[in-house]
Structure 1
Amino acid sequence: MTFKVGYFRSSRMQEIEFALRSLDPGIKAVEVATPTGLRDIDVLLGGGGPDLNPALYGEADEHCKRFSPDRDLREYQLLDQALEKGIPFLGLCRGAQLLNVLLGGTLYQDVEKQQGGEAIHDGHQVHQVQFSGLGSRYMGKEALVNSNHHQGVKTLASGLTLIGSAPDGLPEAWHTPGAIGVQFHPESLVKDDPRWLAVFRWWLEGAA
């Protein structure tokens, strides 16, 4: 089965498309920016990008770098509709944070300033992540992952199951039936380590 993938605009779309076509060279990917775009897709992906508007989780802007209220609200509403329709969702970095916020979770607007853990999350560092449950099935019990995010999960939504954490306790992976979120960028790891294709395979299995 060749899947039609819908996606929210991402800063790493070339890497995402490489990962998808490594699984299926014939896969089709189309940007979703309106509700009509949800009609003909099998799965939906939200990738990396700017910070999320803290108003979405009930806070004022104190530490955000940049965000787009219009884009954030649009993608928030589209993801809500997609989940209601049963369209499997994969969130990478910003997309994973959006999933958490939609389901009632909150974010650190600036991880380094507000969380103060040992792992460096903003920049081009790497750190160890411990996986559990379905996370360990698809990603192994532990792995070094890339770290390039300014924001992070402060409170995980009650409807999400934590399946991966950094050494400082920051959530790195979570899921709920029909949706997966990973804080890091597996699409950037695929070329050097094809095992990360398992994250995308897990997501596509939901639409098979």
Structure 2
Amino acid sequence: MKPLIGVSTSATGGWRSYLAISFAIRRAGGRSRRITPKTGYSITELDGVIAGGGDDISASVYGGELLPNVRLDPERDALETELIPEAVRLEIPILGICRGAQMINVSLGGTLHTDIWEVFENAPKLRTVLPRKEIRVAADAWLSSVLQTRKCRVNALHHQSIKETGRSLRVSALDDHEIVQAIETRSGKPVLGVQWHPELMPFSKTQQRLFQWLVEAAKNRKDTGEYFELAA
């Protein structure tokens, strides 16, 4: 049976994101199940996890400054701060997308810039589904093995970003303004977070490799009980 990937989304409005991610998972040879605060989940049934995009993460989760007029989803925050550490402990492969990458970070003790444009004043206020931002992947990051490149163009739909990395995490990609664009584990365990939305670039072979990596890692764990480590 194909590996089952649990995809966390908001309970309301997250179905659009889920459809795009589900399509990418199917293309990579997996099957998906949507996880929301209403559906709950059984960790033992999952072979892999995707923490998807969505609303801002509440500042109370990481000790940040609460901003006015932002959309929050505290029920989803609670769901993912339980799901992600549990998956890490069980060595279930995880891919975080945009908010999901940030949630991986804060779930493991990291912090966020609450608003990147207050910190990175020279960064353009770019919000687009089109791949208009160039990122640089670190030479020794295993993300470069996944993407099979050290440079690529991505979309940008976020205004929060990773500040201090969480336990056992490292920065694996930056943009031209030194805003964190990807994180991964130092240990080689199958945990990866990207600040962009690869599911919204279905014609990019580079971006589809993220889903191929996740499904292959999930399949390997399902078949052998072990994950595989990637070398940079």
1:135 aligns with 2:170: no
Cα displacement string for residues 168-192 of structure 1 (whole angstroms, at most 9, x for unaligned residues): 00110111112110000111112x2
State the secondary structure of the residue aligned to 1:155: coil
1:172 aligns with 2:181: yes
Give the structure-1-normalised TM-score: 0.89
1:201: how far off?
A: 1.7
CA distance in 2, matches of 1:83, 1:35: 18
* Gapped regions of structure 1 (runs ≥ 5): none
Match of 2:33 in 1: 30
CA distance in 2, matches of 1:92, 1:36: 19
Q: Cα–Cα, structure 1 residues 114 and 123, in superposed 2: closer, same or farther, change >3 Å?
A: farther
CA distance in 1, matches of 2:207, 2:8: 21
State the secondary structure of the residue aligned to 2:45: coil
CA distance in 2, matches of 1:154, 1:118: 16
Q: Do 2:117 and 2:123's aligned partners in 1 also have CA atoms closer than 8 Å?
A: no
Give the structure-2-normalised TM-score: 0.81
Match of 2:200 in 1: 188
RMSD: 2.0
Q: Do 1:173 and 1:181's aligned partners in 2 also have CA atoms closer than 8 Å?
A: yes
Match of 1:112 in 2: 117
CA distance in 1, matches of 2:211, 2:107: 21
Q: Do 1:121 and 1:150's aligned partners in 2 also have CA atoms closer than 8 Å?
A: no
Partner letter of residue 87 of structure 1?
A: I
Cα displacement string for residues 86-145 of structure 1 (whole angstroms, at most 9, x for unaligned residues): 211110001000001111111111111233242444445621101122122222110110
Q: Do 1:109 and 1:150's aligned partners in 2 also have CA atoms closer than 8 Å?
A: yes
CA distance in 2, matches of 1:81, 1:135: 23
Residues 79-90 of structure 1 correspond to what in structure 2 (within 5 A)?
79-90=84-95
Partner letter of residue 142 of structure 2?
A: L
CA distance in 1, matches of 2:124, 2:144: 20
- The count of aligned residue pairs is 205
1:51 aligns with 2:56: yes
* Gapped regions of structure 2 (runs ≥ 5): 221-232
Q: Do 1:119 and 1:168's aligned partners in 2 also have CA atoms closer than 8 Å?
A: no
Q: Cα–Cα, structure 1 residues 36 and 89, in superposed 2: closer, same or farther, change >3 Å?
A: same
1:28: how far off?
A: 2.3
State the secondary structure of the residue aligned to 1:201: helix
Partner letter of residue 83 of structure 1?
A: V
Q: Do 2:25 and 2:215's aligned partners in 1 also have CA atoms closer than 8 Å?
A: no
State the secondary structure of the residue aligned to 2:184: strand
% same residue: 28
